[in-house]
């Protein structure tokens, strides 16, 4: 299902909220005005064209095996320090055995991350709630629908914090698949609270590797593992069993909510083909994935993730992503 948000209410309507609560995801078409889509694409291309290869460690974005929870997840210092920087991670198939690019650099990048919301004014503008809160004059977006702060309020956040942001390019011909995963595995709070805000900047289709979702899995699929830093500075990342809560608080969650008589493998993923400008909200426990892009068309998206920063949620020092020094994670509420 997809729904439109009303002009007056820039958060979620009751129907949208109900759909999200039942299914763990929600498509909001036309969340971004076309001028904003164009500005974010311009910024993406400026970044792709201007970064230097001279001092780049040629880090590729590897997702950690078939189910995304293997141990070969990217984890070098370039990745570990990216929470307060704008860094460029290559597609696995864009780097040959000798470490050379097989494509021009702007067509070789899988992902740009993870502090666009802090360092890039066009991307930062999505989090602004008023012209006064915008540090770069002119970047406030008056006709933004489903404004993130209002959505977060509708979802029940007390103190929503944006902790990371990324452009994912899903390049033509070599765009890597993203295996089924739950975002709270990578962005763990105790108890889990992550929600993804995923914006299509180009049409996302079955051909170029749109998202797909396992509806309702956020209610029964536990966060079994966490991606953490290995002990010692810049020693890489590893998946460890999650010894904390596996669901957000609430009676609607739990392994006993799994559909009766069906295994995880029998559940059916629902594709989410969306137009440029659409917002997709993704619950941190929801199983979702995207396929390889072998088509001629790229699929550029922007996504950021929000966690609860309020009382009763712990974000610990084991998480691979650590707070930007000084500022902390970016508040959505003024």
- Chain contacts with ligand AKG (rule: CB under 6 A): 168, 170, 178, 183, 196, 198, 211, 288, 290, 301, 303
- If we measure between CA atoms, which residue out of 194, 147, 185, 110 comes closest to residue 36? 147
- Measured distance CA(272)–CA(290) in Å, rounded: 10
Nearest approach, Cβ of residue 233 and ligand AKG (Å): 27
Nearest approach, Cβ of residue 217 and ligand AKG (Å): 13
CB 191 within 8 A of CB 244: yes
Nearest approach, Cβ of residue 211 and ligand AKG (Å): 6
Nearest approach, Cβ of residue 38 and ligand AKG (Å): 20
Kindly tell me the sign of the dihedral angle through the C-alpha atoms of 115, 120, 123, 126: positive
Residue 117, CB half-sphere, CA atoms under 13 Å: how many?
25
- If we measure between CA atoms, which residue out of 177, 176, 168 comes closest to residue 196? 168
Residue with tokens 């039942």: 22
Between 139 and 212, name the residue whose CB sits nearer to ligand AKG.
212
- Measured distance CA(203)–CA(299) in Å, rounded: 7
Nearest approach, Cβ of residue 12 and ligand AKG (Å): 20
- If we measure between CA atoms, which residue out of 56, 44, 43 comes closest to residue 82? 56
Residue with tokens 């040959």: 96
Residue nearest to ligand AKG (CB): 290
Between 258 and 292, name the residue whose CB sits nearer to ligand AKG.
292
Between 183 and 202, name the residue whose CB sits nearer to ligand AKG.
183
Between 139 and 162, name the residue whose CB sits nearer to ligand AKG.
162
CB 216 within 8 A of CB 286: no
Nearest approach, Cβ of residue 52 and ligand AKG (Å): 26
Classify burial at 121, counting beta carbons within 10 Å of its beta carbon; exposed 0-12, middle 13-18, buried 19 or more: middle
- Measured distance CA(181)–CA(150) in Å, rounded: 26
Between 139 and 209, name the residue whose CB sits nearer to ligand AKG.
209
DSSP, res 260? T
Between 140 and 179, name the residue whose CB sits nearer to ligand AKG.
179
The strand order across the sheet containing 211-213 reads 178-181, 288-290, 211-213, 270-272
Per DSSP, what are the bridge partners of residue 178? 290
Q: Cβ atoms within 10 A of the Cβ of 322, count?
A: 17
Between 39 and 187, name the residue whose CB sits nearer to ligand AKG.
187
Rg from Cα positions in the chain: 19
Nearest approach, Cβ of residue 91 and ligand AKG (Å): 12
Between 144 and 167, name the residue whose CB sits nearer to ligand AKG.
167
CB 190 within 8 A of CB 314: yes
Between 149 and 201, name the residue whose CB sits nearer to ligand AKG.
201
Nearest approach, Cβ of residue 14 and ligand AKG (Å): 26
Nearest approach, Cβ of residue 68 and ligand AKG (Å): 9
């Amino acid at each position: 299902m997809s729904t439109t948000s009303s002009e007056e209410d820039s958060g979620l309507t009751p129907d949208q909220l109900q759909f999200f609560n039942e299914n763990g995801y929600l498509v909001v078409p036309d969340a971004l005005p076309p001028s904003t889509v164009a500005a974010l694409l311009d910024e993406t291309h400026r970044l792709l064209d201007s970064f230097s290869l001279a001092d780049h460690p040629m880090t590729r974005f590897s997702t950690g095996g078939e189910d995304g929870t293997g141990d070969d997840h990217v984890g070098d210092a370039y990745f570990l320090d990216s929470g307060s920087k704008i860094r460029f991670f290559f597609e696995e198939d864009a780097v040959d055995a000798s470490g050379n690019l097989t494509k021009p650099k702007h067509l070789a990048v899988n992902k740009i991350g993870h502090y666009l919301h802090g360092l890039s004014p066009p991307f930062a503008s999505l989090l602004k709630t008023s012209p006064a809160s915008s540090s770069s004059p002119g970047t406030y977006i008056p006709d933004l629908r489903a404004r993130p702060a209002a959505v977060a309020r509708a979802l029940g956040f007390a103190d929503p914090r944006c902790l990371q942001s990324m452009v994912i390019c899903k390049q033509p011909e070599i765009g890597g698949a993203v295996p089924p995963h739950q975002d709270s595995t990578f962005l763990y709070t105790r108890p889990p609270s992550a929600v993804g805000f995923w914006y299509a900047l180009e049409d996302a289709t079955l051909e170029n590797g749109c998202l797909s979702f396992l509806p309702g899995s956020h209610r029964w699929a536990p966060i079994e593992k966490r991606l953490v830093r290995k002990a010692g500075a810049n020693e890489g990342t590893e998946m460890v069993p999650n010894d904390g809560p596996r669901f957000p608080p609430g009676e609607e969650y739990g392994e006993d909510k799994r559909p009766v008589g069906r295994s995880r493998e029998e559940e059916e993923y629902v594709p989410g083909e969306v137009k440029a400008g659409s917002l997709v909200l993704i619950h941190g426990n929801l199983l979702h994935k995207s396929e390889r892009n072998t088509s001629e068309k790229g699929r550029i998206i922007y996504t950021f993730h929000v966690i609860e920063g309020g009382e009763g949620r712990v974000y610990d020092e084991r998480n691979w992503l650590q707070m930007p020094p000084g500022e902390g994670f970016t508040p959505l509420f003024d």
